[in-house]
Chains A and B, each alone.
Chain A
Amino acid sequence: MINPLNKQRIYTLYDLLNKIPVAMRITLLLLCVFAFQLYSEQTYSQQTKISLNMKNSSIEKILQTIEERSEFYFLYNSKLINVDRKTNIRVKEESIASVLNRLFEAENVEYEVKGTQIILHPKEMNRIASELIAEALQQQKKQIAGKITDEQGEPVIGANIIEKGTTNGTVTDINGNFSLRVEEDAVLYISYIGYLDQEINAIGRTAIDVILQEDTRTLEELVVVGYGIQKKVNVVGSIATVDGKELDGRAQSSVISSLTGKMPGVTITQAGGRPGEQTGTIRVRGIGSFGATPSALILIDGIPGNLTDVNPNDIASISVLKDASSAAIYGARAANGVVLVTTKMGSEGKVAVSYNGYAGVNKPTALPEMVNTWEYAEGLNRAEGITRFTDAEIQAMKDGSMPDLFGNDNYIKEVFSGNGFQTGHDLSVTGGSERSHYYASFGYLNQNGIVPKNNYTRYTGRLNLTSKFTDKLDMAVRLRADNVKTEEPNTAGSIDNTRMMGLIQSSLRFPGYRPAVLSDGSWGGGFKNFGTTQAWLASKSLYERPVVRLNSTVQFNYRPIEGLVISAIGAYNFASTREKMFKASLPIKIDGVEIVLGPSRLEEQFYNTAYKSFQGTVNYMKTFLEAHNIDLLAGYSWEDEMQRNVEASRDNFPSNDLPYLTAGSPENQQNLGGGYDWIIQSFFGRLQYNYRERYLLESTLRYDGSSRFPVNERFGLFPSAAIGWRLSEENFIKDNGKLDFINNLKFKASLGVLGNNNIGNYAYQSVYALGSAYNYPFGGTMMQGARLTTYTDPNLKWETTRTTDAGFEAILWNGILSAEISYFYRYTYDILYTPNASASAIFGLNMSQVNTGELSNRGWEFLLGHQHKIGNVRYGVNANFSYIKNKVETLGLGDVELANGLIGNGSDLFLGYPMQPYYGYKTDGVFMDQADIDSWFAHTDQSAMGANQANTKPGDIRYLDITGPDGVPDGKVDPTYDKVYLGSRIPKYTYGISFNAEYKGFDANIFFQGVGGVSGLLNNYAGFAFWSEGNIQRWQYEGAFNPENPTRYPKYPRLSNPGNAAGVNTQLSDFFVRNASYLRLKNVQIGYTIPRHLLANTFISNIRIYAAAENPYTWHHYPPGWDPEMNSSGEFYPFLKTYTFGLNIKF
């Protein structure tokens, strides 16, 4: 939620009054009118002298000038006081009273001076007030005073205090102070827009300090929409939002992780906890394409960006535009949702400094447990039925009696022995005068991986500046600079696996019986004489990627007449990335002889990306006849991105200490370079209309052109329309006292068409490509070659998604219950699919994208909220649930009818099924004994699975014969007829539920998140024992079929050595495709805010300490050692659980 009203001047608040419902408007009005001047300190007003010389200036302008030249501060209602009136004034060294008398002498205006605060009101109002005072004074009254602040300790200016049951009230001054005469047993009712109302019993008290709690679900909640801000109740599209406050003051390295599970319809999947790589994929309402990349468009302050780059503390809000009507303003790239990130802007007031610091530690959520080497050896002997290891050797592994030959190294423990320490520090400063506001921040994050030498550091600096040149012209400047560095270990020597992920895979793969360190201290060869995890980690091998980014936007807003804003935005982003990978040579000792594995090799890559954009918009808002609200927007946008890169490598470095290109051998130097360009040019417009905020209408049009499409198909038109009906604004509800618990009730529906151009930059251009893939040597010299490899469609055009959306929203009992339900149906067609599987090899070319194929995503989203306060405990519960059904409708040109009757591409897309399927065999447990094998083979020959009847043993998997050439089981299991759909990696259900509570300075937040109806797979090194000379995990060792005690459905088939190709027990089958549903305790946070009175005499305004745990526990069905979000064949970086302590301080 955005609350721009916080800390803003009260007359700007009044300017917003026409956007506030009538009932509330009246309250505000009354409260401001019944402002009393009581016991105020008059010294300043009497002593201050004012000089002015202004001709033909509006009253408003004159008052502003006075404010600028003095400490006076005016409060008035622009509805009641005509401040547009032009007048002349010329005074010299006069008191404020004198000046005001001159200004309003002929007007029906009175003023009251309370210190520096001056309240203007119409005379007759004051008369009523005076009568009331007189009335009040007749009774027994007491004086009560106090200060009203928000949760951050900032004074709340203009908050309303009213004695309950009366019209007696006041407003707070610029310091948040108030005083009021009330009945001895009065109850004070305190309200301020954007905050929860409070009632305070004043019995026996003369001083009351009140902290207002921000209202997270009021009718006034505003959301960021494309090119603007809208009241949430008036939004007819489907927008999921996350308030920046949920990201504020927390221990978090990545925005993505903290968004997981928070928003219905927004599915975030991550590949693990690799520091700096937690980009994850954000999928809005299913997966929208099997052609072009179905990524959401991420806009940071209107400019495309990437969520990992952003300092979470800088974020004011995140909106995810899910349906066509909200996203269509971004037309051509909006088909898969738009994520709008808005950063904080400064606000007027004294300088506010905020610090958030935390430190914590990362631990894997799960780590595979490998057996001891003697168990590996014994297991392998058993698996192969041959003495691979003698009893003496096995004994040596246990007791270390042959120290250079047999040991018990645990590589997984070695590779994940990093400390995982993480710390972050964020400092921000905001403030400003009436004319300029600033928000400046500096952030530092250092995250050590759980792998040694794996480290991620991020420095972020930001300056957001707004400046008002004149009443009609203002400017906003946003500058951001980041320096991000990722460091990872690398393998060394001659192993073919490189980088950290290869190192991890090798550590998972190889058994550790060959000692890493020999008795003379030299490195051992390990399992295959290319060294061990320990040696690689200790080597000088490295990977690093420093990135420097500079982002800038400048925006000018011109308001020539009321309601009209003309904006121009220019943006320039520059990123410079350097990637360096060095593989050191590695000395090892084999049979007493030292050899050096290598050669060492260095690869470096530099690339620069420059993005330029110009956007211009015209926005006109007007209310006609107090009923018809119109908001019109028209705009133009031009974006241009360019990347250039240079890459170079050398090998055979004389020393591992000099990993720089020049130091490498001159013999084998290589380099390459190139880059890309793209342009998008767009025109767009939007009409928003509502009748008394009761009937809502919105329509959007965008016309986009992309350099990625040929001239004739370059531009695409993307229209949308939406309607809404706020039942709660109908008189029959508003006027019905029995229904006054209904705060908002809205039905809405939208329809629109959106595009996607996430394909290569030149997908329509047919080329003879140059590059190392086409070169070939003649006579010992490399010759340059070229080849046409790819067929391109000269008539390529946008991929299109038609989205329909219908929903219902309710807020009842002031937020005690709120609910949203939406249904969506997204139909994507003209999919930019690469139908390789339907292009015969005879054609001879790879296919590039062509517009073919259709896909649907449909589903439901539910959001339930409950906010309440019982005694001193304020608490809330928010739950969201989505159901998404993804279905491949057709591949068009790519449709191939398979022999088993399925239609699809034969591997990962099948008509009528979701994307990302597992396509394999159905099984029925394992063979119990020889008789079982014989009787099974009598009707089902499964020798195509890898073992014929003679080779099959008890404990091998039994495969089901599904069908055959005649459409009925043919007595054998084979890949052509017997593979079936076994599940999909796309979750059908995603849900999240959060609880939060506050009690006397304590705050707590618990968040659960989960998915259901999803499948996962661990295979090869991650899932199969002894795979490709691999190791064996504890659960496989202990869960394997035991012929002594046979069971039909063991956790693992009989132990066997499968080599590295799919054999009888390693086929893709439902034996290994797992239920990947899980419920995760995603986040627990407990904080304590030190009572304000303890800080009364310090310059600190607020201190909060907190402790948080992220991902502390998960309920799932995966085998021990594996996180249920992991789909791996060996390369993996574990998901992390993080425990942190943090501190927020405000000055």
Chain B
Amino acid sequence: MDRYPLTAFGEDDFFTSEENARLAIVGLYRGEIDINTPEYSPSDWWGYAATILMDGITDMGYDRRGFNNDIGKLTSGGLLSSNGNITRLYQRPYRRISSCNRFIANVDKVGTSNAVSRMKAEARFIRACSYFYLASYFHDVPLVTEPLTLEEANNVTKSSRIEVLNFVIKELEEIVELLPRQKDLPGTELGRATAQAALVFLARTYLLTKNYTAAAAACKKIIDWGDNRLHSNYQTLFYPAGKTSSEHIFTTQHIDNEAGYALPQHAFPIKDGGWCLVNGTSILYESYDFLDGTPFSYDDPQFDPDNLGKNRDPRLDYTLIYEGAVFRGTKYICNPESNSSDRFGAGQVTQTGYLLRKYFDESWTGDLNKYGGMVPIARYADVLLMYLEAELEAGNTITQSLLDQTINLVRARVNMPSITDTNPITLRDKIRKERMIELAFEGHRLWDLFRWGIAVERLNLDMYGAPVYVTDQSKIKMKNGQPDPYKRWYANTRAFKTGQEVWPIPQAEQNINPNLR
């Protein structure tokens, strides 16, 4: 009378061959990342909702779903322990960790080989990264490194943030030695962890522990190896074809149709069938300098109200579209006095007038839910900027040569003038601004704001959109009915409170395990 599932292996018969271990490692990389379907809520820390969309709840972006949505609530003052987004962003990494622990505990059964030890290191990498995210946002969390029974799992206690981060550091330090370097990674294995990927997360972890010297050293190691190079074109780096660039150190892999993601569906304007979810703010727009390196101002003659990107850091046009910009062959029009379907209005239209262009190869046509782009998790430009920042925060002297090997490389790619400021105080702001611009909508901003301790200041800035020129002023959304001097559309203002940089352990988990309260 026994009947067995037709498309599954029995657990007891699974770790019997290297082939099966390979199946499991693929499963670990996949985690619960959504494929070919919109991520209405984050599926995983490496899915686009927890990365690209996450910048929409920072000063530089505005998630069209607003502050009633669980993602909007994270930074708008309404963060509760019952928030669905933090619940997922807590539970999903632990599910991955559990899978990794099971893999690490069992994979030796298939024998020992280089392939097996590499896979084991990859499982440890994925686990370490999961803890990195947990400690980044939830701070003190349970540290579990072995498979647990239900009883044990329901009664764990929290470890301090530093304990967790030290575990991550210890793991990553070891893993670096076990993973292949990027130059040795065959093209067919693109997407698997490398020594460089481990080093990036190591550097990030050291930044959190404020061990800047170690962070700098980790970055320096990547730079010194020389496997990575900045891609010549900032825009195409994020196209599907840009995945193979050595600038990308670690990405979430997608391929058209088979394993696509739905960022086009979420971000495209209505004219292209999208939902206008990813909006830039005036804060981001105004951060892009003029081409000559001078800071932006609406009063500067270089500013052209008819072409908002004129004379600006080219990354503005690579990142955003706005009134009149050509996107996928047609002009994007959002003026409320136009008859465009994209005009400012109720529902799923832009809330700022700035929509996302980054990531989109405009010649691509296909199912908006199945785009074969990528989510950049770690790239070389980030390493260069982290290196500079770590050197600065470590108190080391900043030389022009250091600037030229780091931030100026990043700027030179887009023909922006070099930075020559070596004063740590003023340079710090420039580095932070450069990070925001260079890494816009890659999901680093909230992490940066939290670790820099400037979240309260930055997140509560009034968020405006683009200037909107109309004859009937009642069509403009204004703050408290007050016209804006630059005619900017008013989006919203958050009420982020001190303390909300640390996310609460989800209520559901507190209910199960009072140790976590």
Contacts and interface: CB of A to CB of B under 8 A. Distances in A.
Interface of A: 380, 384, 386-388, 390, 402, 405, 494, 496, 514, 525, 527-530, 590-591, 593, 597-599, 601, 651, 667-668, 670, 674-679, 681, 705-707, 711, 714, 761-762, 765-788, 791, 837-845, 896-899, 906, 943-944, 946, 948, 974-976, 1026, 1028-1029, 1057-1063
Contacts, number: 281
A975 B30 contact: no
A766 B11 contact: yes
B82 to A, nearest CB: 5
B477 interface: yes
A785 B273 contact: no
B368 A494 contact: yes
B300 interface: no
Given A386-B474, A840-B94, 11 more contacts: A386-B477, A527-B341, A676-B6, A762-B3, A766-B10, A773-B30, A781-B255, A785-B30, A786-B9, A841-B95, A842-B154
Contacts of B92: 841
B150 A843 contact: yes
A472 to B, nearest CB: 35
B191 A906 contact: no
B150 A839 contact: yes
B509 A496 contact: no
A1 B446 CA distance: 72
B123 to A, nearest CB: 12
Given A529-B341, A786-B24, A838 B154 contact: yes
A182 B66 CA distance: 94
Contacts of A1060: 65, 69
Interface in B8-31: 8-12, 14, 20, 22-30
B5 A762 contact: yes
A1029 B348 contact: yes
Contacts of A944: 78, 80
B257 A780 contact: no
Contacts of A1029: 346-348
Nearest to B102: A788
B9 A837 contact: no
Interface stretch (B182-190, B353-361, B377-385, B421-429): B182-190
8 contacts: A597-B273, A599-B367, A674-B6, A762-B5, A765-B10, A768-B14, A897-B511, A1061-B68
Given A528-B270, A844-B95, A768 B368 contact: no
Contacts of B369: 496
Interface in B283-319: none
Nearest to B349: A1029
Contacts of B2: 707, 711
A543 B68 CA distance: 36
B512 A784 contact: no
Contacts of A1063: 68
Contact of A591 (B95, B96, B340): B340
A809 B367 CA distance: 65
A785 B23 contact: yes
Contact of B23 (A590, A599, A668, A770): A770
A1061 B341 contact: no
Nearest to B368: A494
B273 A840 contact: no
Contacts of A772: 35
B26 A784 contact: yes
Contact of A843 (B5, B35, B153): B153
Contacts of A706: 1
Given A841-B509, A944-B78, A705 B1 contact: yes
Interface residues of B, number: 101
B502 interface: no
B4 A765 contact: yes
B142 interface: yes
B253 interface: yes
B258 interface: yes
A843 B96 CA distance: 10
A707 B191 contact: no
B144 interface: yes
B259 A775 contact: yes
Nearest to A524: B341
Closest 5 CB pairs of A and B: A844-B98, A1029-B347, A785-B26, A843-B153, A841-B91
Nearest to B473: A387
A767 B99 contact: no
Contacts of A769: 5, 7-8
B498 interface: no
A591 B332 CA distance: 12
Contacts of B154: 838-840, 842-843
Contact of B346 (A388, A590, A778, A785): A388
Nearest to A638: B1
Contacts of A906: 507-508, 511
Interface of B: 1-12, 14, 20, 22-30, 33, 35, 38, 65-66, 68-70, 72, 77-78, 80-82, 90-92, 94-99, 101-102, 142, 144, 148, 150, 153-154, 156, 186-192, 243, 253-259, 265, 270-271, 273, 330, 336, 339-341, 345-348, 366-369, 472, 474-477, 495, 506-513
B101 to A, nearest CB: 8
A788 to B, nearest CB: 6
A946 B150 contact: no
A527 B95 CA distance: 40
A667 B20 CA distance: 28
Which of B96, B154, B472 counts the most chain A CB atoms within 10 A?
B154
A767 B102 contact: no
A851 B273 CA distance: 48
B484 to A, nearest CB: 14
A1059 B346 CA distance: 8
A402 B339 CA distance: 11
A976 B68 contact: no
A348 B150 CA distance: 66
B10 A1061 contact: no
Given A840-B156, A843-B150, A774 B341 contact: no
A943 B78 contact: yes
Which of A494, A777, A1059 counts the most chain B CB atoms within 10 A?
A777
Contacts of B475: 386-388, 390
B65 to A, nearest CB: 6
A384 B344 CA distance: 12
Contact of A844 (B20, B72, B97): B97
Contact of B70 (A707, A784, A1061): A1061
A1029 B68 CA distance: 15
Contacts of B82: 975-976
B153 A842 contact: yes
Contacts of B340: 591
B182 to A, nearest CB: 13
Given A529-B341, A844-B95, A667 B1 contact: no
A1002 to B, nearest CB: 58
Given A786-B23, A786-B27, A767 B348 contact: no
Contacts of B253: 776-778, 780
Contacts of A670: 258
Given A777-B255, A779-B186, A842-B94, A681 B23 contact: no
A508 to B, nearest CB: 15
Given A593-B330, A788-B102, A1059 B66 contact: yes
B341 A525 contact: yes
Contacts of B513: 840, 842
Contacts of A525: 341
Contact of A778 (B68, B94, B191): B191
B50 to A, nearest CB: 16
A81 to B, nearest CB: 54
Contact of A782 (B80, B190, B255): B255
B278 to A, nearest CB: 16
B440 to A, nearest CB: 24
A1055 to B, nearest CB: 12
A325 B66 CA distance: 58
Contacts of B27: 768, 774, 776, 785-787
